[in-house]
Amino acid sequence: MASLMRRVLVLILVMGPMVVMLPGCGGSAEGTIPGGSDMAASAPRGEGAVRPASAEPKQISIDNFRYVPDTLTVPAGTKVTWTNHDDMPHTVTSTGTPKALDSEALDTDEQFSHVFVEPGTYTYRCTVHPKMLGRVIVEKR
Ligand SMILES: [Cu+2]
């Protein structure tokens, strides 16, 4: 008799925590609600910061002595940002005159930006490594 009572007690001890865990699972689902509202709050903020530019901004990376992409076609009004990922300094400098593009030497992770207002083809190079060539083709909107 005593051993049967002990088994019942063991059963209650084993089952007890399981019964407690079930509502616990339901409760954890509430934790996703604050995360979701966080995302909703940050999205409009990001878009609002970009809105004043008339075209979507574009990025060109400088990687391994190359502009990537080396040819970029954008609508007029686009802001283009170059980022130097090399350990070497590079520049973004127009090949012709007047120099629409004339950056300082960019160290690692430094950026240079330019807003292309006038349609045309803008060819540029790195003054430190003149074989590095790139161009931005700006089309009428
Ligand atoms: Cu260079």
d(CA 101, ligand 1 centre) in Å: 14
Integer angstrom CA distances of residue 18 from 5, 21, 31, 61: 20, 5, 21, 55
Distance (Å, whole) CA 119 – CA 101:
14
Q: What is the per-residue pLDDT across 2-29, written as a single tens digit (0 to 9) for each?
A: 555 555 444 334 454 444 444 444 444 4
If one counts every other C-beta atom within 10 angstroms of the C-beta of residue 113, the result is 13
Phi, psi of 125 (to 5 degrees): -145, 175
Q: What is the per-residue pLDDT across 89-135, written as a single tens digit (0 to 9) for each?
A: 999 999 999 999 999 999 999 999 999 999 999 999 999 999 999 99
d(CA 61, ligand 1 centre) in Å: 12
Q: Is the pTM of this model over 0.85?
A: no
